[in-house]
C-alpha cells in the first residue's frame, strides 16, 4: 500500500492509521480475512475522522458505506455526485467482510482441518489485489480531498468503455471476471474504472498490436 503510505507521510496527522496498513500487509498471505477487516476499519477511521472534524454526527450503527457517503458530503461532494457514488460503491466491498470471514476466517464458526488448510485458497491473488487496491484508492482520494489537494476530475473520459468492445473482450479473456456474493466485475471494467490511464495505455497497445498483425 505504498500510495497510502506516501499520503500518510505527506500528511502526518493520519499517522495512526499506519497500524491498519501493517496488519493488512502482514496477513495478506497467512489470513486474508484479517487483512480485509483491517482494510474496512481503515476506511471507517478515515471517514469518521473527516465527519468528526466537519461536525457531522454519525448514527451509532452507520455502515462503512454510510460513513463514507457522509464523509464525501462533508468535504463538499453531494451524495448524488458521480465520484461519491463510484467511491462508495467500491467501499461496498467492505460491507461483505462478514461473508468473506465466514468463508476464510480461521475462527468464524469453527472449521474442519481440511477447511482450515484450504481456506486461503478460496480467494485468488487477483481478487485480493483488487479488494485491497480498491480500498487504498478510496482512502487516498478521501485524504487528498480533505487536505485540500486540487484534484482534477474529468467526468467524461476520452475513451468510452463501450467503444472498446474488442479490447474489452481480449482483456477479459486474459484476466477473467471477479465475483463476490451477488456482485460481478469483468477485468476490463475493473481496469477502466480504477485506473483510466492504464486502461488507455493497454487499449492503445492492443490497437497497435492489432494493426501490426494485420500488416497495416
Write 144-151 long-range contacts (CB < 8 A, 24+). Answer: 144/7, 145/72, 145/75, 145/76, 145/77, 146/50, 146/53, 146/75, 147/10, 147/11
Residue 149 — very low, low, confident or very high, per pLDDT cuts 50/70/90? Answer: low
Question: Model pTM?
Answer: 0.60
**All structural domains of the chain with their residue ranges:** 2-155, 156-216
88, containing H or E segment: helix 82-95
Residue 155 — very low, low, confident or very high, per pLDDT cuts 50/70/90? Answer: very low
Write 8-14 long-range contacts (CB < 8 A, 24+). Answer: 8/143, 10/147, 11/143, 11/147, 14/46, 14/143
Residue 33 — very low, low, confident or very high, per pLDDT cuts 50/70/90? Answer: confident
94: pLDDT strictly greater than 60: no
Collapse the DSSP code of 184 into the 3-class scheme (helix H, G, I; strand E, B; otherwise coil) and give the result: strand
Supply the pLDDT for residue 157.
46
Supply the pLDDT for residue 123.
67
Supply the pLDDT for residue 50.
93
Supply the pLDDT for residue 98.
46
61: pLDDT strictly greater than 50: yes
65: pLDDT strictly greater than 70: yes
Amino acid at each position: 500500500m505504498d500510495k497510502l503510505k506516501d499520503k500518510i507521510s505527506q500528511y502526518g496527522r493520519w499517522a495512526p492509521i499506519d497500524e491498519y496498513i501493517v496488519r493488512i500487509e502482514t496477513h495478506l498471505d497467512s489470513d486474508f480475512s484479517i487483512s480485509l477487516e483491517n482494510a474496512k476499519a481503515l476506511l471507517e477511521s478515515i471517514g469518521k475522522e473527516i465527519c468528526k472534524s466537519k461536525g457531522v454526527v454519525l448514527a451509532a450503527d452507520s455502515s462503512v458505506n454510510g460513513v463514507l457517503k457522509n464523509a464525501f458530503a462533508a468535504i463538499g461532494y453531494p451524495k448524488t455526485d458521480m465520484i461519491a457514488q463510484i467511491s462508495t460503491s467500491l467501499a461496498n466491498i467492505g460491507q461483505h467482510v462478514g461473508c468473506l470471514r465466514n468463508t476464510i476466517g480461521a475462527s468464524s464458526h469453527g472449521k474442519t482441518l481440511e477447511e482450515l488448510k484450504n481456506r486461503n485458497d478460496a480467494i485468488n491473488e487477483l481478487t485480493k489485489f483488487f479488494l485491497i487496491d480498491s480500498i487504498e484508492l478510496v482512502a487516498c482520494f478521501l485524504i487528498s480531498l480533505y487536505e485540500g489537494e486540487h484534484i482534477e476530475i474529468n467526468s467524461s473520459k476520452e475513451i468510452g468503455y463501450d467503444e472498446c468492445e474488442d479490447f474489452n473482450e481480449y482483456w477479459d479473456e486474459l484476466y477473467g471476471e471477479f465475483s463476490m456474493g451477488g456482485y460481478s466485475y469483468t477485468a476490463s471494467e475493473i481496469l477502466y474504472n480504477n485506473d483510466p490511464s492504464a486502461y488507455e495505455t493497454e487499449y492503445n497497445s492492443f490497437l497497435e498490436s492489432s494493426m501490426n498483425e494485420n500488416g497495416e
